[in-house]
């Protein structure tokens, strides 16, 4: 049995390279080559790639091995946000109606863990990305729908979004939007919670459509 920490470390190293585009979208991945580069045997690399496949960051092709998945197209990104706009305003509104005192305490605690990243690397924004995912999943849980939460979680939306485009200005903006959503939920105001979530998702989608520094979409 491989030490779990070794596989975790290899997984995070490869994931960071994919998220930072040090390994380009659509690139072929050599298990042996990565093993040599990371100074490990092929087995932890193979296990790490299996995890990354479940997160839809790599895909395994028969007789050809692994490659990184491409970035979402503009149409795919829009489709992801259409899905989110269908379920997340409902989840926020329902959380405002149904959240128990214990649930509201969890929401407050989650916001207390969040800090905006100070640079544009995955190492810097990894913790914020994790908070972002937890915050949105928590609202689905507080709404009381396991089906919605599980369907939402399977999209791996936060990995696709942060891989697509990130700059450090996004963190403070998103965090302020999270706080407005949470304030409405904590105030038991379903309409304000739904509106704040809808605005957050529309702003998030708009940020992803901004060009990067080289003028590429």
| Domains, in order of start, for the chain | 4-68 (1.10.10.10), 74-208 (1.20.120.530)
**Which residue, 205, 169, 160, is CA-closest to 18?**
160
Question: pTM of this prediction?
Answer: 0.84
| Per-residue pLDDT, 163 | 85
Residues in the chain, pLDDT under 70: 1-3, 166-168, 210-217
CA 216 to chain centre: 22
Torsion sign, CA atoms 163, 168, 173, 177: positive
Residues 6+ apart with CB under 8 A from 26: 67, 68, 69, 70
| Per-residue pLDDT, 111 | 92
Strands (E) located in the chain: 28-29, 58-61, 65-68
Query: What is the residue whose two structure tokens read 């072929």?
Result: 28
The C-alpha atoms of residue 156 and residue 38 are separated, in whole angstroms, by 26
The C-alpha atoms of residue 51 and residue 46 are separated, in whole angstroms, by 9
State pLDDT tens for residues 60-71: 988 889 999 999
């Amino acid at each position: 049995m491989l030490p779990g920490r070794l596989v975790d470390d290899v997984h995070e190293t490869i994931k960071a390279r994919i998220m930072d585009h040090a390994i380009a979208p659509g690139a072929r991945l050599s298990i042996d080559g990565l093993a040599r580069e990371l100074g490990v045997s092929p087995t932890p690399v193979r296990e790490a790639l299996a995890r990354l496949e479940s997160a839809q960051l790599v895909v395994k092709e028969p007789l050809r091995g692994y490659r990184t998945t491409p970035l979402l197209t503009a149409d795919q990104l829009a489709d992801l946000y259409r899905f989110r706009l269908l379920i997340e305003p409902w989840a926020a509104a329902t959380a405002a109606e149904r959240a128990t005192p214990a649930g509201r305490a969890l929401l407050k605690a989650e916001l207390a863990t969040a800090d905006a990243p100070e640079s544009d690397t995955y190492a810097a924004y990894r913790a914020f990305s994790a908070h972002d995912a937890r915050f949105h999943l928590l609202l689905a849980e507080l709404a009381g729908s396991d089906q919605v939460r599980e369907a939402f979680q399977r999209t791996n939306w936060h990995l696709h979004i942060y891989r697509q485009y990130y700059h450090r200005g996004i963190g403070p903006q998103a965090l302020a939007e999270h706080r407005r959503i949470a304030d409405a939920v904590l105030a038991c105001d379903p309409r304000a919670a739904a509106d704040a979530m809808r605005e957050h998702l529309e702003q998030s989608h708009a940020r992803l459509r901004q060009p990067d520094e080289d003028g590429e979409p």
